[in-house]
């Protein structure tokens, strides 16, 4: 049994809220303290299972699961349709804060009704004629819940999109959960149960309330605040952070450098990131791929890069890249995501060779005439020390011979 309250602007007076939600939105008590927000009655005949863990025995119904199911009904998860597909007409006692008055409402709807969407008609059921409304409600695949397709924070994916990954049998391609009603829709029947192919708390015979995600999403869409750090499953931002992406140094001696990789949100399936070096002759990573799981995604993984190519030749620093290829995953928010690559410089370990400038040699005529002068300023590289000594002695002998010849001319 449930009471329904209407309040707010006159143009929305046809919308009925469960009392607890109305009071939360209004920020004040709207019912007398002695009046319950809703009452749940249980039949004494079913064989209830009163445990909190495990599955009920055969032919038994889990009391805890059923109680939660009915409490969610009392929080607003319930349709006001009549058996012919029309909405009831009511006369409401209304207060707008300054006066009280009566108002006849021809199409009185619960807040839950305004989010139901006809798959075949492509319209909200509140905009349909009663016959079409009833056809959508009792069809196996004709009725959808539209609220969960809207993104939350700016740039986020929608809760419904995430649920499409987790509960694909009962979610359409746009992320809208499927609903159903009894095929023979009697007065007072509920259209609030999700599609019978899904495992959800609103399927009251489901053995244990371990999976409440669809119901929580729908309650949030109606205006409830869901105080659960894990709800909805994180999908914002979907990304892979790499730190740092430049400035890394390795050496031909085998010195290493490291960088870290981390997922920015929880995946619903393993995420594999292949790695490769643009120049394996200069350096390579210590793994060919990183693997993140729903269990370890919060931990950054470290990649170690080792320099190679001790070739004995002075060839200077060489740049190369550790490329992080596109992610591979059954999680469509991560599959194909391309992380940043990492640039590395491999330092040479061979010393730069010595350079030698031979002494300048000059030859001139004794009479100051147009004699010839010989000078060499060429730098000679890679000359062994013994060769340099011979060259130096040869130069001294040549200089001595030139001076000796000059002395003979003067004599």
- Sign of the torsion angle spanned by Cα atoms 153, 157, 158, 163: negative
Q: Where are the domains of the chain?
A: 10-222, 240-347, 356-410
Q: Which CATH superfamily is domain 240-347 in?
A: Immunoglobulins (2.60.40.10)
Q: Which residues of the chain have pLDDT under 70?
A: 1-2, 94-99, 149-169, 188, 196-201, 203-213, 227-238, 310-314, 350-396, 398-411
Q: What is the pTM of this model?
A: 0.56
pLDDT of residue 83: 85
CA angle 11, 14, 15 (to 5 degrees): 105
Q: What is the pLDDT of residue 175?
A: 76
Whole-number pLDDT of residue 256: 94
In tens, the pLDDT along 53-107 reads: 777 788 888 888 888 888 888 888 888 888 888 998 888 776 666 667 777 888 8
With tokens 């730190």, the residue in question is 243
pLDDT for the residue numbered 401? 67
Cα–Cα distance between 185 and 120 in angstroms, integer?
Answer: 19
Q: What is the pLDDT of residue 173?
A: 74
């Amino acid at each position: 049994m449930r009471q329904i309250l209407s309040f707010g602007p006159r143009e929305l007076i046809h919308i009925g809220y469960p009392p607890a939600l109305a009071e939360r939105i209004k920020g004040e008590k709207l019912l007398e303290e002695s009046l319950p927000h809703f009452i749940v009655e249980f039949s004494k005949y079913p064989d209830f299972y009163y445990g909190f863990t495990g599955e009920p025995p055969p032919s038994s119904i889990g009391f805890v699961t059923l109680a939660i199911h009915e409490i969610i009904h009392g929080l607003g998860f319930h349709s006001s349709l009549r058996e012919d597909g029309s909405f009831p007409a009511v006369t409401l006692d209304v207060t707008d804060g300054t006066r009280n008055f009566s108002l006849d409402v021809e199409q009185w709807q619960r807040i839950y009704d305004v989010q139901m969407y006809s798959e075949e008609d492509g319209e909200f059921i509140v905009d349909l004629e009663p016959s079409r409304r009833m056809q959508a409600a009792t069809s196996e695949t004709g009725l959808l819940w539209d609220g969960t397709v809207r993104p939350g924070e700016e740039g986020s994916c929608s809760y419904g999109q995430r649920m499409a990954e987790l509960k694909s049998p009962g979610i359409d391609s746009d992320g809208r959960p499927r609903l159903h009603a009894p095929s023979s829709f009697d007065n007072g029947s509920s259209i609030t149960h999700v599609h019978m192919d899904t495992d959800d708390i609103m399927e009251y015979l489901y053995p244990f309330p371990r999976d409440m995600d669809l119901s929580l999403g729908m309650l949030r869409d109606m205006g409830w605040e869901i105080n659960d750090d894990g709800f909805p499953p994180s999908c914002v931002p979907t990304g892979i952070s790499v730190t740092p992406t430049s400035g890394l140094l390795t050496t031909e001696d085998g010195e290493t450098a490291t960088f870290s990789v981390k997922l920015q949100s929880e995946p619903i399936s393993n995420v594999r990131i292949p790695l490769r070096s643009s120049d394996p002759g200069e350096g390579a990573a210590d793994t060919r791929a990183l693997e993140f799981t729903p269990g370890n995604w919060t931990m950054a993984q470290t990649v170690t890069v080792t320099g190679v190519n001790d070739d004995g030749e002075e060839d200077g620093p060489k740049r190369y890249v550790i490329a992080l290829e596109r992610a591979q995953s059954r999680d469509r928010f991560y599959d194909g995501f391309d992380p940043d690559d990492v640039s590395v410089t491999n330092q040479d370990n061979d010393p730069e060779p010595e350079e030698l400038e031979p002494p300048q040699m000059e030859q001139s005529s004794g009479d100051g005439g147009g004699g010839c002068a010989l000078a060499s300023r060429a730098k000679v590289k890679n000359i062994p020390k013994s060769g340099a000594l011979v060259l130096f002695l040869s130069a001294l002998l040549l200089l001595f011979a030139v001076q000796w010849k000059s002395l003979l001319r003067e004599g």
